[in-house]
Amino acid sequence: MEFQVKFDINEKVYLRNPESSEVGKLMVKKAIDLIYLLGFEQFTFKKLAAEINSTEATIYRYFENKHRLLLYILNWYWCYMEFLVTFKLENVLDKKEKLKNIVHLLTHELSESASQFDYNKKFLNQIVITESSKVYLVKEVAEINKNEVFKPYKDLCSKIAEVITQYNSSYKYPRSLSTTLIETSHHQQYFSVNLPRLTDISSKNNAEYTSQFIEELLFKVLG
């Protein structure tokens, strides 16, 4: 399944909208590739500039620092995930099936697009699993949050919370459960590959393990 979608990312995240130019679009695409290959700590604007045959000064015209670039990438991902949740649930009437579809989206790699100019969804998914906490587990989070730059993540959590409430209207903590589902899915996918003894995985299929674990946790909590 292929989608050609664009999202309005909070302008406080960037200095110049990367969607406004070809070099900006290429910058984000190559940044995703590099962060996946190198890790966020080893990723630098100097390396990105070499990858896009440009200069560090050009990148700094778009993003104040690499933290803001990562925040842009993650915001795009959260917008995309909310879009997918809405799309996948559009014609689903069964409330339990809706939750199962959400769990599947959270625990499996995203489908790739055929377009050579699109973001690599596999890389993007892995970046979210390994690097997403680095944009909000920071000392300056309260100050950063004043500009509503975490809104796409909050919107996704709210969307999942709505489905939880539809399934069990008496459950008191739908938002807390939605964030728990998202973050736990990330941790279990990461641990099952890199630190398997922190999990109960018994096979190499970490996506199915994580999906089964999250699903059982979810329905045990909701009854």
- Position 137 scores a pLDDT of 82
Q: Residue-wise over 72-111: b if at least 16 C-beta within 10 A, else e?
A: bbbbbbbbbbbebbeeebeeeeeeeebbbbbbebbbeebe
- Sequence-separated (6 or more) residues with CB below 8 Å from residue 47: 34, 38
**13: which DSSP letter?**
S
- Position 102 scores a pLDDT of 97
| Size of the chain, expressed as the number of residues it contains | 223
Domains in the chain: ranges and CATH: 75-222 (1.10.357)
- Position 211 scores a pLDDT of 93
- Sequence-separated (6 or more) residues with CB below 8 Å from residue 35: 43, 70, 73, 123, 127, 131
Q: pTM surpassing 0.85? A: yes
Digit-by-digit pLDDT tens for the chain (223 residues) are 444 567 889 999 999 999 999 999 999 999 999 999 999 999 999 999 999 999 999 999 999 999 999 999 999 999 999 999 999 999 999 999 999 999 999 999 877 654 555 889 999 999 999 999 888 888 888 888 888 999 999 999 999 999 999 999 999 999 999 999 999 999 999 999 899 999 998 876 667 899 999 999 999 999 8
**Which tokens belong to 139?**
């000392």
- Position 115 scores a pLDDT of 53
